[in-house]
Structures are given as C-alpha cells and as structure tokens.
Amino acid sequence: MLAIEKSGTGIPLVFLHAFPLSKTMWDASRPAYSKNFQFITVDFPGFGDSPLNAETTSMDDMADELEKTLVNAGIKEKIILAGLSMGGYASFRFYAKYPERVRSLALLSTRAAADSDASRQKRAENIALIEKEGLKPFAERMVQGLLGKTTHQTSPAIVEQVRAWILAANPKAVIAALRGMATRPDSTTVLAQISVPTFLLAGEEDTVVPASEMKEIAGKIKKADFQSLPVGHLSALEQPAAFQNAFLTFLKRRVL
C-alpha cells in the first residue's frame, strides 16, 4: 500500500510527484484544490511515507499499487489523475491498465516514450554515483536540471527547498526509481487511446523534457489542452499560482 494524504471533498484529484521528491511537493497547493476537490497526494515506493518493497520501482507496479491504495481508501469513483514527470510515467501506465477509473488526465512535463540508450546509461551512472558517494553530488546534479534558469536566478529559496528534499530521500528508493524509469515501457501507443480531457503543461525553460516534446504528445491526444509557462521542469513549484490558475481553469471548463 502507498502512503497518501487526503483533504477536501468532491471529485478525487490525485497528484503523483516528480523524481526524487515526495508528496510533500504538493503541500502548498492543498488550499487551492481542497476547496473544490478531494485532493489526494501519493508517495512513490520508498519516498515520503511509502514503504519500499522491491529493488526496482516499476511504473506498472506503481499503477497497480495506486489502484489498490485508492480502493483501500474507499475511492471507487473516477479520478482526475495529475502526474509530474515520473508521476506522468506512472499516469500513462495507470491509464493503460485502468482507463475506466480516469475522468481526466494532467500530464505535466513528462514523456510518453521509453528511455533512450543514452538516458539509461545516465541512470546507470547516477546509480553508481549514489552507491559510491551517497546523495550529495547527485542532488547537486538534479537541482541544476530540475529547475529553470529563471528560478535559479531569482528564487534561491525554491532551489534550497528542492535540494533539501532530495537530500532527505532514501537512497535505496532513489536507486529503485532510477531502475524503474530506465526499464519503463514505451507509452506512445497509449496516446491515441486516451479519450478523456487531458491537460498538458510544459516548461519553456525545461531541459529535461523540452516543451516541443510535450506539444508533440498533445498533438496525439484527442481532447488535449496544451499550455506552457516560462518555468523549468517543476512548474507547480516554480510558479505555483500560474500553474494552479491554468489547471483550475482547464478543470472548470473541460471537466466539472
């Protein structure tokens, strides 16, 4: 079972966090969503309060665990599923397995394709680095890539917060997630099957998933609403108000 946190009432709105963070990353958004939704945040295995039971966190297992956890929490109705980056990888697998459970999707700075050979190689290097030196040098690498250049220049508190979250992670969970992302299946065939209203948000300064790739994904989904913000990879943290405004406007217009 995965650790979740719930607040508010209404349609369940489930948020899956980015790697290597935890459900805490959504805490500041809680008041904005809890007014109109049952706001549910979830920890991937080994992150935050979720136990780690395997050496690899497969995205398909994550989808199954999410379904079990929701049913166990009494959430049997259709959900709105929002996944940021790694959360998006798991959201694709959840939709592929449980399409009848999904009322709407939000795909945030994520990609449908599997890892390239170069990305797999990089993940193997990161695993070796963590095994040898712990999370510190890895956290520095990650902080550089996760946040946009504007955030680096103007918001040192956000940079520091993300660094602290990464350093607080369980190294074994980080390694298991790296293995799971490296071996995740290609979800590009899922795109044409998505029949629910789908919000896609890209960061114009994102160097992990370029905005052009998100736009391409949007072009393959029937009911897609693509938007971009002048942020890096972690839009919801870098510009929370702009992100919430864009997402809530989409939900009011296309889902409620």
- Residue with the CB atom nearest ligand MLT in the bound state: 85
Smallest separation, CB 12 to ligand MLT (Å): 22
85 binds ligand MLT per the rule CB under 6 A: yes
Which CB, 79 or 84, lies closer to ligand MLT? 84
Which CB, 38 or 57, lies closer to ligand MLT? 57
Smallest separation, CB 8 to ligand MLT (Å): 25
Smallest separation, CB 200 to ligand MLT (Å): 15
Residues β-bridged to residue 15? 41, 82
Report strand pairing: 4-7 vs 37-42.
antiparallel
Which CB, 25 or 40, lies closer to ligand MLT? 25
Which CB, 19 or 165, lies closer to ligand MLT? 19
86 binds ligand MLT per the rule CB under 6 A: yes
* Alpha carbon distance 108, 217 (integer Å): 11
* Alpha carbon distance 205, 256 (integer Å): 31
Which CB, 22 or 38, lies closer to ligand MLT? 22
18 binds ligand MLT per the rule CB under 6 A: yes
Residues 6 or more apart whose Cβ sits within 8 Å of residue 81: 14, 16, 91, 94, 95, 102, 104, 105, 106
208 binds ligand MLT per the rule CB under 6 A: yes
58 binds ligand MLT per the rule CB under 6 A: no
Report strand pairing: 198-203 vs 102-108.
parallel
Smallest separation, CB 28 to ligand MLT (Å): 18
Which 128-187 residues touch ligand MLT, going by CB under 6 A? 181
Residues that bind ligand MLT (CB under 6 A): 18-19, 85-86, 181, 208, 233
